[in-house]
Chain A
Amino acid sequence: MTSDKTEVLIVGSGFGGAIAAYHLAAGGAKVTVLERGPWLESKDFDHDFLLGSSYTRAFDFVVGDGMSVLGGNCVGGGSVVYFAAMPRAPKFVFERHGSIGRRMWPAEISRDTLEPWYDRVSESIPVTQQDWNDVTYSGGLWAAACHHSGRTANPTPVAIDNAKCTNCNWMMGGCRFDAKRSLLTNYLPAALAHGATIRPLHEVQKIERTPDGGYRVHYNIVDEVDYRVHSESGVIEAKIVILAAGAGATPVILQRSEESLGKMPHGVGRYFSGNGERLNTAILNEDKVREVLGLSREDGLAYEANQIGKGPTVACWDRLDENLPEYSRYSMEQLYFPPGLGTILAQVPGGDSPTWFGKEKKEILKRWKSWLTIFLMTEDDNEGVFGPPPPTGNAFRVSQQMLGRGALKYDPTPNTLSGWAQADAEVKEIMEKDGLAKIAPWTNDVVGAYTVHPLASCRIGDDAATSALHPNHELRDHPGIFVTDGSAVPGALTVNPAMTIAALAERAVPGIVKAAQNRGIDVKYGAPSPDGAINGRRGVTKLALSLAGD
Chain B
Amino acid sequence: MTLEAYADTIVPGEKRHPDDHAIAGVSEGPGSVEAGALELLETEATGITAGLDFLVPMLNGHAKAYAEEHHRELDPSLPEFVALSYDDRVQLILRLTKNGHPEKDGWVSLALFCNMAFDSAPHLSTAQALADGHPGLLAMGISTPDEDGLWRFPNYSYGRKLAELHPDTTPSGSPA
- Identify the A interface with B (CB < 8 A): 47-53, 56, 63, 87-91, 118, 122, 127, 129-130, 132-137, 140-141, 143-144, 146-147, 151-157, 166-170, 176, 226, 228, 295, 297-299, 304-305, 307-310, 314, 316-318, 320, 331, 338-341, 343-344, 353-354, 357-359, 361-363, 365-366, 368-369, 397-401, 403, 405, 445-447, 495, 499
Interface assignment of B125: CB less than 8 Å from any CB of chain A: yes
- A-B contact list, 27 entries, CB within 8 Å: A50-B124, A51-B123, A88-B175, A90-B174, A118-B172, A132-B161, A140-B162, A143-B162, A144-B158, A153-B164, A154-B173, A166-B151, A166-B152, A166-B153, A169-B151, A297-B158, A314-B163, A317-B169, A343-B115, A344-B116, A353-B94, A399-B45, A399-B47, A400-B46, A401-B45, A403-B46, A405-B105
> Closest CB-CB distance, A84 to chain B, in whole Å?
13
- The reply to whether A168 and B150 contact each other, CB–CB distance below 8 Å, is yes
- The reply to whether A362 and B11 contact each other, CB–CB distance below 8 Å, is yes
- Mask, B80-110, CB within 8 Å of A = 1, is 0000001000100110011100000100110
> Closest CB-CB distance, A535 to chain B, in whole Å?
13
Q: Which residues of A contact B119 (CB under 8 A)?
A: 339-340, 343-344, 365, 368
B116 nearest in chain A by CB position: A340
> Closest CB-CB distance, B69 to chain A, in whole Å?
18
Stretch at the interface among B15-23, B56-64, B71-79, B135-143: B135-143
> Closest CB-CB distance, B55 to chain A, in whole Å?
14
B158's partner among A89, A135, A228 (CB-CB below 8 A) is: A135
- The reply to whether B165 and A154 contact each other, CB–CB distance below 8 Å, is yes
Give Cα distance in the complex from A52 to B169, angstroms: 42
> Closest CB-CB distance, A410 to chain B, in whole Å?
12
Interface assignment of B1: CB less than 8 Å from any CB of chain A: no
- The reply to whether A47 and B149 contact each other, CB–CB distance below 8 Å, is yes
- Mask, B12-35, CB within 8 Å of A = 1, is 100000000000001101010000
- The reply to whether B164 and A147 contact each other, CB–CB distance below 8 Å, is yes
Given contacts A147-B164, A369-B140, A403-B46, 8 further A-B contacts (CB under 8 A): A137-B156, A152-B163, A154-B166, A166-B154, A308-B156, A314-B163, A340-B116, A400-B45
Give Cα distance in the complex from A446 to B149, angstroms: 34
- The reply to whether B166 and A318 contact each other, CB–CB distance below 8 Å, is yes
Q: Which residues of B contact A151 (CB under 8 A)?
A: 163
Q: Which residues of B contact A166 (CB under 8 A)?
A: 150-154
Q: Which residues of B contact A228 (CB under 8 A)?
A: 47
A88's partner among B90, B120, B121, B172 (CB-CB below 8 A) is: B172
Given contacts A169-B151, A344-B115, contact A359 B12 (CB under 8 A): yes
> Closest CB-CB distance, A353 to chain B, in whole Å?
7
Give Cα distance in the complex from A499 to B175, angstroms: 13
- The reply to whether B9 and A132 contact each other, CB–CB distance below 8 Å, is no
> Closest CB-CB distance, A294 to chain B, in whole Å?
10
Give Cα distance in the complex from A403 to B43, angstroms: 14
A397 nearest in chain B by CB position: B47
- The reply to whether A132 and B173 contact each other, CB–CB distance below 8 Å, is no
- The reply to whether A144 and B162 contact each other, CB–CB distance below 8 Å, is yes
- The reply to whether B12 and A362 contact each other, CB–CB distance below 8 Å, is yes
A344's partner among B44, B93, B98, B112 (CB-CB below 8 A) is: B112
B11's partner among A63, A168, A365 (CB-CB below 8 A) is: A365
Given contacts A398-B48, A399-B47, contact A137 B158 (CB under 8 A): yes
Give Cα distance in the complex from A170 to B111, angstroms: 24
Q: Which residues of A contact B112 (CB under 8 A)?
A: 341, 344
